[in-house]
Chains A and B, each alone.
Chain A
Amino acid sequence: MADAGYDDWLAAIADVAEQGSAARETQSRDGEGYYLACPDGHGSLPPRRSCPHCASDELTEESLAETGEIVTFTEVHVPAPSFADEAPYVTAIASFGPVRLTGVVRDVPRSDVELGMKVSPDVDVNATTGEQVLVFRPADE
C-alpha cells in the first residue's frame, strides 16, 4: 500500500542516512530529511495541506535537523502482531526543534537509552513485517 506524502518523507530520511554526512553538508534540498513549516515557524509532518497550529496553507519543506533529543521512551514487552519479532523493543519520541518524531531505537542497548540522548533518524526494516520503519540511532558526537 502506498501512502502519498508520507512515503516520500520517509524516503528522504532514508536517503540522508545512505549518503552520510558528506551529502548533508552540501546544503542541497535533494535527499534530505524535511519537515513542513508555515510562515509563523510552526512545524508539522506530511501529508499536510494546512498548518495544524494556525491553519496557514503556505507550507514549505525545511531541512530536518540531523540530530534530535529523546524526550520520552518506553521498552515495549507486549507487542502488537506487527512487532512480534521485535519485542522487547524501545520506542521513543525525539525532539528535532519545530517537530518531534516517533521511532524505534536501534543500535543501542536498552540500559543505555536515556532521556536527553542525542539520536539521528533513519529508516530500517521491521523484522516482523518487512516494511519500512522509522528508527533512531545514536548520533555521532
Chain B
Amino acid sequence: MNDVRIAGVGLTTFGRYPERTGRDLFAEAALAARDEAGISREDYDEVHYGNFMGELAEGQGHQGPVVAEAAGLDCPATRYESACASAGVAFRQAVQTIRGGGADVVLVGGMERMNNLGTSEVTRSLAIAADELFEVRAGVTFPGAYALMARAYFDEFGGDNEDLAHIAVKNHANAMTNEYAQFHREITVEDALESPVVADPLTLYDACPITDGASAVVLVSGDYADENGLDAPVRVAGSGQGGDKAALQDREYLAQTPAATKAAEMAYADAAISPDDVDVAEVHDCFTIAEVLALESLGFYEPGEGIGAAARGETTSDGDLPVNLSGGLKAKGHPVGATGTAQVVEMTKLLRGDHANSDAVPDARVGVTHNAGGTVASAVVHVLEVMN
C-alpha cells in the first residue's frame, strides 16, 4: 500500500463573499495549494472535490470539471456530496486512490457559496441534508436537528447551556489569531447565554455562521514525494468512515454519534494508534453540542463526559488536548462542502509548525480531523502524522 503525503495546502479567507463565484473561490484555494506543492500541471492525475448545495446556490451541477478548469488543471475531476462531510469524503477517496496505486498526485478540496442566498433560503438549503419525508416536512431545520440531539443529551447525561457556551467562547478565542477565520471577536459566556434562541435549547452563539469559502490540499504518494524531493513532512496515517440512518427518529441513539465512533476506530486502527496518542484535534462543531458528541466518538471522553471539557479547560489552547485551534466551524466558519479539507489544511499547518496557533502545540506529532455530514449520518475521520 502506498503511503500518502501532504505536499501543499491552501485556503481562502472564510467569510461573506456573496458576489464571488464558487469557481473563483475554489481557484484561490487550489492555486495556493498548487503553489505550495510546486508540482507541474502535467503530473496531476485527478481532482476530488466536495460541494453540498451548488445546484441551489448557483444553479451549477457537474462542478468537477468546472473547478478543475478553474484550478488550471486538465485531468478527470469528480464531485462528492455528503452534506457537511462532502470534502472529508472527497479526501478519503483521494487517499484510497493513491494508496491503491490509482494515482500519484491528486488535488482534493471543497467549496461552498452560501451568502448569495438569504438566511431563509440558506435555512431551506441546509435542511435538505435531513430526511425530506420524515424530518423536513415536520419542520426540522439544521439547527433544529442538533437542538433535538442537545435536549436528548441533557436529558440522558446532564449538562446545560453554560457548558455549551464555554465551547463557543473557546473557539472564538482560538480564531482571534487565525487570519483565515470569519470571526475575530472574543465572546464571553454571558454573550453566548444571552444570544437569541435559534432552536431551543440552542442559541445563535451555539451555531456556526453562514460562510463562503474554499479549501484545497495536494496529496502525493510517498514514492512520488521521494523521487521528486518534495518537502512533504505530514503523512495521512489513518482514514475511516462511518454511516448511520438518515433520520434521527430511526437511530438507535439520539445523544451519541456511532457513525463517527466507527470512523474513528477505523482511522485509529489504520494508523495503529489509540486516542491517547492524539496531540491535537480539529472537530466538526457546526453547533457546540456537535463538538461534545465528536470528543466522545473520538474516544477522548466516555459518553456523557465530554460536555464539560471546555469549561474544565481540557480542550482550550492551553489544555491537555487542544480542540479546534483554528477556531472551529463556530468561529473560523463553515463553508459546508469545503470544511472537511479546511480541517486538513489547518491540521497540516499546526503539525508543520506554521499555523498561527502552532505555539499551543509545539511538540505535536499526531493530529485528528473529524468531519460530519447532516446529523452525523455520515462521518469521516483522518489521522495526520509528522514524519521524522
* A→B interface (CB under 8 Å): 3, 6, 44-45, 52, 71-84, 86, 89, 91, 93, 99-104, 115, 131, 133-134
Contacts and interface: CB of A to CB of B under 8 A. Distances in A.
Interface of B: 119-121, 123-124, 127, 133-141, 143-144, 147-149, 151-152, 155, 196-202, 245, 247-250, 254
Contacts of B120: 79-81, 84
A86 B139 contact: yes
A72 B139 contact: no
25 contacts: A3-B133, A72-B149, A72-B151, A74-B151, A74-B199, A74-B202, A77-B197, A78-B119, A78-B123, A78-B198, A79-B123, A79-B141, A80-B141, A81-B120, A81-B123, A82-B124, A86-B139, A89-B139, A91-B139, A93-B249, A102-B134, A102-B140, A102-B249, A103-B138, A115-B151
A82 B124 CA distance: 8
A9 B140 CA distance: 20
Contacts of B197: 75, 77
Nearest to B146: A74
A136 B123 CA distance: 24
B148 A93 contact: yes
A74 B197 CA distance: 11
Contacts of B139: 76, 79-80, 83, 86, 89, 91, 104, 133
Contacts of B124: 80-82
Contacts of A89: 139
Contacts of A45: 134
A80 B135 contact: no
Of listed B200, B249, B250, residue having the most chain A CB within 10 A: B249
Contact of A133 (B138, B202, B245): B138
Given A3-B133, A79-B141, A102 B199 contact: no
Given A76-B143, A77-B200, A82-B124, 9 more contacts: A52-B250, A72-B155, A75-B199, A78-B199, A79-B123, A80-B136, A93-B248, A103-B138, A104-B138
A102 B149 CA distance: 13
Nearest 5 A-B pairs (CB), nearest first?
A74-B147, A100-B249, A72-B152, A80-B124, A102-B138
Nearest to A132: B137
A78 B250 CA distance: 25
Of listed A78, A91, A133, residue having the most chain B CB within 10 A: A78
B36 to A, nearest CB: 39
A104 to B, nearest CB: 5
Contact of B133 (A6, A81, A93): A6
Nearest to A5: B133
A84 B133 CA distance: 18
Given A133-B137, A133-B138, A78 B245 contact: no
Contacts of A131: 137
A71 B255 CA distance: 11
A139 B134 CA distance: 21
A42 to B, nearest CB: 11
B151 A100 contact: no
A52 B249 CA distance: 13
Nearest to A75: B200
B245 A52 contact: yes
Contacts of B134: 45, 101-102
B192 to A, nearest CB: 16
A80 B151 contact: no
Contacts of B155: 72, 115
Contact of A78 (B135, B136, B143): B143
Of listed A71, A77, A115, residue having the most chain B CB within 10 A: A77
A131 B136 CA distance: 13
A140 B141 CA distance: 29
Contact of A102 (B143, B152, B202, B247): B247
B135 A77 contact: no
A81 B121 contact: yes
Given A71-B254, A72-B152, A80-B120, A102 B135 contact: yes
Nearest to A93: B249
B144 A76 contact: yes
A104 B134 CA distance: 11
Given A82-B124, A93-B254, A133-B137, A76 B249 contact: no
